Structure 1
Amino acid sequence: RSIQRSMGPASLSLLTFKVYAAPKKDLPPKNPMKADELSFYLVPKGQYKYVEELRTQLEESISQLRHYREPHTGWCQETYSQTKLKMQSLVLWGLDSYEYLQNVSSGFFSKTWCYNFAGLVGLLLATGSNIKKLVYPPGFTALAASIYHPQQAIVFAQVSGERLYDWGLQRYIVIEDTWKEHFQKLGNENSPINK
């Protein structure tokens, strides 16, 4: 039995009608089959034994090749799993850098060119000495960066100066102790009591 709404004007849309459905009487009733009467549920008769099929020459060669290459494939899979995370982080870094370069602040590229030009000038002026080649380019680049970022340069100079002073003081103490120890040994050897 089903209930159906009529399609019509808005005032008649709430009327319901009862509809009764009955099966056709001319069809003969079907007898359903039981599950054990179906052919795929029948248990086969007789004794069956599993016999493994012999390998062909091609299958044997592939098996030997897999067995021989197993350590190499394991190494490749391990290397891939290790480098996959690094490559994903590198790709994310590249996407973040691209996103940053799309929305850079004004003057970013002019500052970058200034830093690079200062480093190139330092490289050109550092002729003859390897120490100059190590000191001049970063020094000139740092000088150019300090022009654009004076507050950060002052903080960096203060922290670096303190660390450099501490490092120098430690080296001075070590050299002083070594110097005193060396001359005390020489003084004890030349003293008149030992002669």
Structure 2
Amino acid sequence: MLKVTGRVMPGASSFLPFTVFAANDAGNGEKEETSSVNLDELSLYTAPPPPLWYEESEAGQLEEKVATVRKLAEPYAIWCQSAYAKIKPKVQKVVQLGNDTYVNLQYPPKDFYPRAGVIGLAGVVGLFLARGSRIKKVLYPTGLMTLGASLYYPEQAAAIAKSTGDSVYDTAVQSYAAVEKILKSQVKDKKSNEK
């Protein structure tokens, strides 16, 4: 008879002593020896760890070609992702504008269609008056439609004119600063060449 000592579960060996009976190969009636054996020593409880190894399979022709194409396409994919990130908000604004326009056309404000008709007629009159040059064909209809819209919607026209005026002023100031910087650098170059 073998008495097993060791841990079945942490702390359980003190509460649950048990014995393991092994078959005697002698068969001649000799008395069995009693000895203590740890659980780790019994082959029933421990199995030798299987040998583990990892083999890298060789890449085939197709895999190599796909890897090459991926490496070649990576810069373009990154560029497309950055372009998409820049364009996405603008596209969302256009879609929102389209949805708002659709809702406004389904439930128009009072006198919307007569006003839109007058503004459109002003554009047609501008096309009729703009015979001749291409510049007139752009300026006359646009100017007359803008004039008609500003008569019907003076608050919005004033806000647009103010924001446009501010942006034109900012652009003019920046252009002036750039021209002044270029002229100063040219004057410095002339002075240094003269010396």
Relative to the length of structure 1, the TM-score reads: 0.48
| Larger relative contact order, structure 1 or 2 (CA cutoff 8 Å, min sep 6) | 2
